[in-house]
Structure 1
């Protein structure tokens, strides 16, 4: 089984320490899947700067296939972050840099490459919305992270993305349980096969189109919560795939419950690591 993260790559610049770490939803997914024992790859656009060198080096050390990535002249994406009591606080970012200014277009070469994967994971920060319809010609499942930003939760954006994905992830820690259930129904109503909402320390809610499931958190004293949501969804998706998830067949209740438990445990482990998965380097 092979999976791939398709889209964004960034460095998270920690202002309080002057250290940057590799990250991005698609990159984190690829690394976490590999840590969970699944062959994984990353497909995206790298800039030509020190940040890109760090991201590429870290991916190669984690044994991630980046052979089909493209290098382009431009600045890598960065997020400026502070850490308060182990929790990340985003300060500013450059909209993803070259990876979102000139993202990969799915042409025949990319389509042929993607044929080998069971699941393709992307996100709203990857600027690949126009490429999603092309992926429906593949056997691969498609998962998509909508983040916690309201502009990616409105009807227009959901209508553009959801018909082309099998699994949606959102972050909505401020909503009530009733509001979250309505949000999950909205997302699947627009066409997503299933939907998961993470709520930080409040746990998670999952909807398979039929019933709701609640997931608890594994409490730890966090070193850094960066990547915790990506770790959660990666572990959950891998468990579903291992349990036979494919187009036209979604695993049953026992698999979902066990998957949420495993996801919480893996996410807690990642909270004990600096950055999303380490590899910190001083920056100016």
Structure 2
């Protein structure tokens, strides 16, 4: 299976240790897909600083194809965070750095290349919303992570293009979460899924509700857990697993990633 993560990449700077780890939703998807034995590519914009060089070197060593990426003069994306009892807490970011100034339109220059992927995954932080109509017409499936700070009024118009839509709803009640997923499904998203932190995950297929409890562990670092869940779920479902089994695989891989510092290790002193 060939998959593509399209959009954001960052260095996650841990203020309590002075170590930065490669990350970003779309980039994590590509790396996690490789860990799960898929053939993965990443398409995005890097800065030309030391952090970006480190990320590119890590991706190349892990076998992720970055041959279509752009490198632009400027600061790479970074986020600042700390860990409190294993739970990550974000402190701020530079909003993607140089990516803010580089339109993602170049991603559509070779539609035949994009058409080879079984899955394309992107996110709310990828500056790629304008690309969704074209990406939605590709033969592969399209996935989008709305993260936790979405506004439902702005999210729903995007749902018509999506096979999978992920919403982080840890701060919402079960009733509110159900309303979000029902609205996303009505707006055209084939399979809307919510992650709810310690409450697990919830999926609505238009007629049935599926829930998945998390694996109970003592985490080292929860950074990347949601992205890990998304990746394992998507790969399992695209391979033909049932929704229930795909959710179970997502929960299992998320627990595995919680035992690693950073999204997937590979730290550097920043």
TM interval, short-chain normalised: over 0.9
Structure 2 residue aligned with 1:157, among 145, 155, 160?
155
Structure 2 vs 1, CA of residues 108 and 21 (structure 1 numbering), >3 Å: closer, same or farther? closer
Q: Once the 2 structures are TM-superposed, how far is the Cα of residue 107 of structure 1 from its aligned partner?
A: 6.1
Q: Which residue of 1 aligns with 2:175?
A: 178
Secondary structure of the corresponding residue to residue 104 of structure 2: coil
Q: Unaligned regions of 5+ residues in structure 1, if any?
A: 244-250
Query: SS at 2:105's partner residue?
Result: coil
For 1:246, the equivalent position in structure 2 comes to: none
Give 3-state SS (helix, strand or coil) of 1:125's partner: coil
Kindly state the Cα deviation for residue 108 of structure 1 after the two structures are TM-superposed: 5.5
- Aligned to 1:266, the other structure's residue is in SS state helix
Aligned pair count reads: 270
Aligned to 1:128: 128
Which whole-Å CA distance do the structure 2 matches of 1:173 and 1:144 have between them? Answer: 18
Kept after mapping to 2: 8 A contact 1:123/1:144: yes
CA distance in 2 between counterparts of 1:199 and 1:114 reads 32
Match of 1:280 in 2: 267
What is the rounded CA distance, in whole Å, between the counterparts of 1:129 and 1:98 in structure 2?
18
Whole-Å separation in 2 of the counterparts to 1:107 and 1:11: 22
Deviations 1:261-283 (A, max 9, x none): 11111100000001000000011
CA RMSD in angstroms comes to 1.2
2:104 and 2:127 in contact (8 A); partners too: no
The corresponding residue for 2:246 is: 259
Is 2:204 aligned against 1:217?
no
Which segments of 5 or more consecutive residues in structure 2 lack a partner in the other structure?
none
* Cα-to-partner distance string for 1:119-157 (whole Å, 9 max, x where unaligned): 1000000011111111133101100000000xx232133
* Distance in 2 of aligned mates of 1:108 and 1:20: 31
When structure 1 is superposed on structure 2, of 95-104 and 212-221 the one drifting more is 95-104
Alignment correspondent of 1:3: 3
Say yes or no: does 1:97 pair with 2:97: yes
Q: 1:110 to 1:45 in 2, by over 3 A?
A: farther
Rounded Cα–Cα distance in structure 1 between residues aligned with 2:18 and 2:107: 39
Quote the residue 1:195 is aligned against.
Answer: 192
Q: CA, structure 1 residues 143+107, in 2 after alignment: closer, same or farther (shift >3 Å)?
A: closer
- Decide whether the 8 Å contact of 1:2 with 1:40 is kept in 2: yes
C-alpha distance in structure 1 between counterparts of 2:14 and 2:20, whole Å: 6
Contact 1:45 1:103 in 2 (8 A): no
The normalised TM-score by structure 1 is 0.92
* CA displacement, residues 179-202 of structure 1 (integer Å, 9 cap, x when unaligned): 111110111112111111001111
